[in-house]
Amino acid sequence: MDSSQDFQEERHQRRENGEETEKAADYGNALSRKEATEELLGCVVHSEEEAYRLYCDYGHRIGFSVRKGKQSYFIGTKNIRTKDYYCSKEGLKYDEPVTEANFNRPDTRTNCKAMIRFRVDEKGQWTVIRFVPVHNHQLAKPGERHMLRSAKSLAVGKSGAIVPSTSTESHPINGFSDMIEGGTPESSGYTIRECYNQVGIQGVTVIEAGDGQNLVSYFKRRTNEEGMFYWDVQVDQEGRMTNFFYRDGKCRNDYDCFGDAIIFDTTYRINKYNLICAPFVGVDHHWQNVVFGCAFLLDESVASYAWVFKSFLESMGGQSPKSIFTDQDEAIMQAIEQVFPNTQHCFSYWHILKNAQSHLGSLNTSQAFQTLFTKCMQGSDSEEDFEESWTAMLREYKLQDNSWLIDLHRFRHKWCSAFNKDTFDGGINSSQWGEVSNNILSGISDENTSLTRFALLLEKVVKDLRRNESEEDFRCSQTAPVRAVKHSTVLKQTAESYTHRIYKLFEAEFLDGCGATSCHETSSGGNLLRFEITMQGRGSKVWAVALDTSTMEITCACRKFERMGLLCSHALKVFTLQNVDTIPEKYVLQRWTKDARRSMYKLTQDDSTQQECTEAELAYRNRAMQYAYNLIIKSQELEESRKIFWDSLETGEKALEVFFEMRSMRSQAAKDASNKEKKKRKPTKGPSSKKAKQAPAASSTDLELSVQTNEHQYQSSQDAQGNATIGRPYYYQQAFPTSPIQPNQMYMHPNMHTMPLCTPQQDHLSAYAAVRSNSNFAGAKNI
């Protein structure tokens, strides 16, 4: 085609100017199949590399990776005649032979048929002769497309490696801005972890004059940049700043999704001032750390802890966590009782084990003692079992007079599993979780670190955590975990629902239950079945499981589901024996699924996250603000995306005006009709000399206001000009009546009360404008 060369030159120029990467991220999804076909079909390039790059560029704009496919040759030569490129999800993994190398590799194939085919002529021109734009899988979101394998592009030196910049003017936070084409790891396509393997991290430099005031100025700047940034400062009687708390808008969204269990860690100190750095930390749906906020505290008094808890609670809209885990500190205990009276407070296992190192001396190196101590903490099924193990430990190691153990025993209800079987911790309070805040904060400060510099460094750490989450989200959306039992319907169901990390935890329990347990049904009465489960090779311990076959409710004595939110091997064994091939929905916890974040925008009357809200309107407002905030953050980088967002808001506002105007007119018409009916029913004293004015009958040429929508609220339709609508109520005029409209003359679609999707459609408002301009219309003068 004649314009193909110009098309390629224009594409190359856009790529050189960095324009294509920016615009592609926002408009990739807007490309229709027709537009994509018109753009590529018949396009001509001049080499195999250009052909591959053409399809890769298109894939990056749409949201998929490219894989090289089959090729054919001219007869008797090795010159390519046709060449195919596929979506990377073409084919199925199970079509390939299973080898040791690919057995544990995540499954990325969905048998997608999207592809492009080039034909090469004698002149070496590559022409697109076939193009299939349809994909059968989820495409990468704009914020994820930099992670597509075929979209990665690093600025490389002659050696082919990433070359660190020697400039001293690079951004203080992003050390890769000079090293990577596009300015950031996201724009280049390489993850931050891949960049760390090549270059060192640049230092952060901050002016240290007036440290407290600089920190407040930093908070104010973040507030101006982010509408939902929250910060608070406590001052003493002399006006000196003592305690600080802050969190950004993303922390609030994270807390709404994963704030059921949190750790408040006060073990980290900022060396320069010996301030306590106390982050609020939880776990996300990938079982990774997520930060909800951070506090700087001058002392460890009840008043300071109560202040920071109140600030945290206010910043989270008054929503308390289900459980909170802290160090063994009586001041924290009192503050939690004041501020979080309905929250389950427990001591963190990691804090207990860390404190034991300084109170138990050489016993910390004794494996036998550690086993017994761990049994007291996590292995006791009842209070009697715990007391027996505790007494035996004290007697055997002569610890009856150890003051730390005596004090620990006094608060046993806050750390022993026998007393807290139903306390949800999401796995954050397990010994395998290890150091939480120290993993986050370790090594980011020294004795000369100022508050502002520490806040900037912590901001970078939080960004890295969020980047890790985004990478895991992308991996979960583009690949499927390898199932140990290929044709198991239970594993297939959970692999589709859970994130990869949580699925592997579930799969281990499933295999343990199926292959390493013995089961004995003890009794049954009606719909209630009881079982005794023993684990092979792990002693004679018995777990009792009860199943109600009428409701499919199952409970196990180990209480793993109540603590972790995952079914245990004992319960899964019983389900298998009862031929249950699908896990009941209530046992697939939403917070562990790939769609964990989507659930925060579903407004239901019985939503547990709204129970603490005093009014339904308050809950709706908070959710709507969070949703709008996400859209603002997503659209703020590019002018085009900001315009799309503003257009949507303006169109939505106009749609609401029309809705409430029509609602007001309906109400007024019904009121007028009611008043007229009352006048008719009044008794008359006799014939009147005055002739009653008769309302003229509506002629066939008079107008009547009607509302129509598509039968399916959100399916496409067309207006009078042929423009596409998306379920929007369409107003049109038949005639204006010369008499007041009766209720039966006003036709409203039954779906009118629902909120339609918003698209720019000015034509739909013309009828409404005409109605308002006509003073004869019933109720118009009262609007």
Q: What is the pLDDT of residues 616-627, one digit of tens each?
A: 666 677 677 767
In the predicted structure, residue 410 carries a pLDDT above the cut 80: yes
- Please, what sign has the CA dihedral across residues 95, 96, 101, 107? negative
Strands 553-556 and 528-535: unpaired
Alpha helices (H) in 709-776, listed in sequence order: 766-773
> Would you state the pLDDT for residue 685?
54
Mean pLDDT, range 306-322, rounded to an integer: 94
Mean pLDDT, range 689-701, rounded to an integer: 43
Q: Are 139 and 63 in contact (CB under 8 A)?
A: yes
Q: What's the mean pLDDT when you consider all of the chain?
A: 74
Residue with the two structure tokens 């990776």: 65
CA 151 to CA 188: how far, in whole Å?
Answer: 8
- pLDDT tens sequence across 726-741: 333 333 333 334 444 4
Which two three-digit tokens encode residue 351? 């804090």
> Would you state the pLDDT for residue 665?
86
Which two three-digit tokens encode residue 558? 């180990």
Mean pLDDT, range 660-671, rounded to an integer: 86
Which two three-digit tokens encode residue 395? 């007697």
> Would you state the pLDDT for residue 102?
53
The total of other beta-carbon atoms located within 10 Å of residue 694's CB is 7
- pLDDT tens sequence across 99-157: 444 555 677 788 898 999 999 988 888 999 999 888 888 888 777 777 787 666 433 33
In the predicted structure, residue 51 carries a pLDDT above the cut 60: yes
C-alpha 685: how far from chain center: 73
In the predicted structure, residue 442 carries a pLDDT above the cut 80: no
Among 719, 705, 625, 615, residue whose Cα is nearest residue 669: 705
Measured CA to CA in angstroms, residue 333 lies from 275, 280, 306, 348, 581 at distances of: 20, 16, 10, 13, 45
Q: Are 59 and 87 in contact (CB under 8 A)?
A: yes
**Which burial class, exposed, middle or buried, applies to 575 when counting CB atoms under 10 A from its CB (0-12, 13-18, 19+)?**
buried
CA 105 to CA 536: how far, in whole Å?
Answer: 30
In the predicted structure, residue 528 carries a pLDDT above the cut 50: yes
330-358 burial, b if ≥16 CB within 10 A, otherwise e?
ebbbebbeebbeebbbbbbbbbbbebbee
CA 118 to CA 24: how far, in whole Å?
Answer: 23
> Would you state the pLDDT for residue 369?
92
In the predicted structure, residue 771 carries a pLDDT above the cut 90: no
In the predicted structure, residue 644 carries a pLDDT above the cut 80: yes
More confident residue, 657 or 610: 657
> Would you state the pLDDT for residue 570?
93
C-alpha 256: how far from chain center: 10
Q: Which of 573-577, 633-637, 779-783 has the lowest mean pLDDT?
A: 779-783
In the predicted structure, residue 742 carries a pLDDT above the cut 50: no
Give me the torsion for CA of 364, 366, 367, 373, rounded to 10°: -60
- pLDDT tens sequence across 261-302: 999 988 888 867 778 889 999 999 999 999 999 999 988 999
Q: Give the relative orientation of helices 403-410 and 349-359 as an angle to the nearest 10 degrees.
A: 160
CA 698 to CA 16: how far, in whole Å?
Answer: 68
CA 398 to CA 190: how far, in whole Å?
Answer: 57
In the predicted structure, residue 345 carries a pLDDT above the cut 70: yes
CA 260 to CA 53: how far, in whole Å?
Answer: 46
568 Cβ partners below 8 Å, 6+ apart? 509, 513, 556, 558, 560, 561
CA 254-256-257 angle, to 5 degrees, is 65
Mean pLDDT, range 431-449, rounded to an integer: 63
Q: What is the full DSSP assignment across 525-564?
A: ETTEEEEEEEETTSTT-EEEEEEETTTTEEEETT-HHHHH
> Would you state the pLDDT for residue 324?
95
Query: Which of helix, strand or coil describes residue 760?
Result: coil
Among 391, 294, 305, 295, residue whose Cα is nearest residue 340: 305
Which two three-digit tokens encode residue 154? 């690093």
Give residue 202's pLDDT band: very low, low, confident or very high (50, 70, 90).
very low
Mean pLDDT, range 19-27, rounded to an integer: 38
Q: Give the relative orientation of helices 451-478 and 211-225 as an angle to the nearest 10 degrees.
A: 30
Give residue 653's pLDDT band: very low, low, confident or very high (50, 70, 90).
confident
More confident residue, 14 or 659: 659
- pLDDT tens sequence across 504-516: 999 999 998 887 7
Q: Most confidently modeled of 42-46, 292-296, 476-480, 596-600? A: 292-296
Give residue 386's pLDDT band: very low, low, confident or very high (50, 70, 90).
very high
In the predicted structure, residue 707 carries a pLDDT above the cut 50: no
Among 682, 707, 699, 767, residue whose Cα is nearest residue 739: 699
CA 11 to CA 61: how far, in whole Å?
Answer: 13
> Would you state the pLDDT for residue 117?
92
Strands 261-264 and 323-326: parallel
Query: How close are the terminal C-alpha atoms of the chain, in Å?
Result: 60
In the predicted structure, residue 595 carries a pLDDT above the cut 80: yes
- Please, what sign has the CA dihedral across residues 424, 426, 430, 434? negative
Q: Which of 15-29, 94-108, 435-449, 548-562 has the lowest mean pLDDT?
A: 15-29
- pLDDT tens sequence across 204-240: 333 244 778 888 888 998 888 877 899 999 888 777 7
Give residue 525's pLDDT band: very low, low, confident or very high (50, 70, 90).
confident
Among 596, 592, 568, 599, residue whose Cα is nearest residue 498: 592
Give residue 492's pLDDT band: very low, low, confident or very high (50, 70, 90).
very high
**Which burial class, exposed, middle or buried, applies to 602 when counting CB atoms under 10 A from its CB (0-12, 13-18, 19+)?**
exposed
In the predicted structure, residue 562 carries a pLDDT above the cut 70: yes
Q: Which of 78-87, 346-355, 518-527 has the lowest mean pLDDT?
A: 518-527
